[in-house]
Amino acid sequence: MAEVTVIKHPLVQHKLTLMRQADTHTQDFRRLLKEISMLLAYEVTRDLPLKYEKIQTPLTEMEAPILAADKKMVIVSILRAGQGLLDGMLELIPTAKVGHIGLYREPTTLMAVEYYLKLPIDVEYRDMLVVDPMLATGNSAVAAVDRLKETNPTSIKFVCLLAAPEGIQHFHEQHPDVPIYTAAIDRGLDSHGYIVPGLGDAGDRLYGTR
Ligand code: URA
């Protein structure tokens, strides 16, 4: 069974509470998601390997840790709400390449249908972070990772903001090898597949649509 890491850092939890509030405006919601995404990126990259290089400080030489150059990353955003996590992550991991996968939820079955895929050509040499704020039914996440596994990345991690237990279970059943990182696990899903208590439709709240 893949592990789920809940990032309980007080700054993440505080910002998430602000995002949940129904009267939080689009611009604040977007800014908060970007801020949280930087904090998530910090946790998700904890296991990046370091190497040591000789450098010169103003005072002396030293062997200093630096990211191992061979550890290349790709961040794949599940359109469209994944975009809200992307920019903050890229600020912390500026050398990452970016992929996009477009899936829409068929409203009656809630199943994910793919309509777009664009990835860097060297994806098989990269560690992949798949980002989508809401792990609800898990259908989109499972379909995205099904498809992305076909491109043979070195590893995959799934990063979200909120997860429902149903989504985690579904994802685990299909992708037990892919760890999940989330800021919170909520109570469950309503009859429309929304996370409860949740924060509503993440894409709509990010972009001011409805
Ligand atoms: N997608 C959303 O944006 N919100 C939910 O609660 C569930 C899926």
Q: How far apart are CA 129 and CA 146, in angstroms?
A: 14
Residue 155 · residue 126 · CB < 8 Å: no
Q: How far apart are CA 197 and CA 20, in angstroms?
A: 8
Q: The whole model's pTM is what? A: 0.94
Residue with tokens 């043979």: 152
Rounded distance from Cα 155 to ligand 1 centre (Å): 26
C-alpha distances in Å from residue 147, one per residue of 162, 166, 198: 22, 21, 27
Per residue in 135-159, pLDDT (tens digit) is 999 999 999 999 999 999 999 999 9
Closest CA to 178 of 189, 190, 193, 167: 167
Q: What is the rounded (10 degree) CA torsion for 145, 208, 16, 90?
A: 50
Residue with tokens 């664009």: 118
Element (H, E) at 20: helix 10-20
Q: Is 194 in the pocket of ligand 1 (CB under 6 A)?
A: yes
Which CATH topology does 4-46+77-207 take? Rossmann fold (3.40.50)
What is the token pair recorded at 194?
């929304």
C-alpha distances in Å from residue 152, one per residue of 14, 101, 146, 149: 37, 15, 11, 5
The answer on pLDDT for 47 being more than 60 is: yes
The answer on pLDDT for 98 being more than 60 is: yes
Category of 52 on φ-ψ map: left (φ > 0), alpha (ψ -120 to 50) or beta = beta
Residues with Cβ within 8 Å of 198's Cβ and at least 6 positions away in sequence, in order, are 20, 134, 162, 186
Beta bridge partners of 113: 104
Ligand 1: residue whose CA is nearest its atom 3: 201
Q: Is 99 in the pocket of ligand 1 (CB under 6 A)?
A: no
Rounded distance from Cα 90 to ligand 1 centre (Å): 23
**CA-203 nearest atom, ligand 1:** 3
Ligand 1: residue whose CA is nearest its atom 5: 194
Rounded distance from Cα 25 to ligand 1 centre (Å): 17
Amino acid at 115: Y
The answer on pLDDT for 174 being more than 70 is: yes
R_g over Cα of the chain: 18
**CA-202 nearest atom, ligand 1:** 3
Ligand 1: residue whose CA is nearest its atom 4: 201
Q: Is 136 in the pocket of ligand 1 (CB under 6 A)?
A: yes
- Percent of the chain beyond pLDDT 90? 91
pLDDT band (50, 70, 90) for residue 2: low
Q: How far apart are CA 26 and CA 176, in angstroms?
A: 35
Q: Where are the domains of the chain?
A: 4-46+77-207
ipTM comes to 0.95
Q: What are phi and psi of 132, to 5 degrees?
A: -160, 125
Q: Which of 16, 134, 140, 162 to mutate for ligand 1's pocket (most ligand atoms within 8 Å of CB)?
A: 134
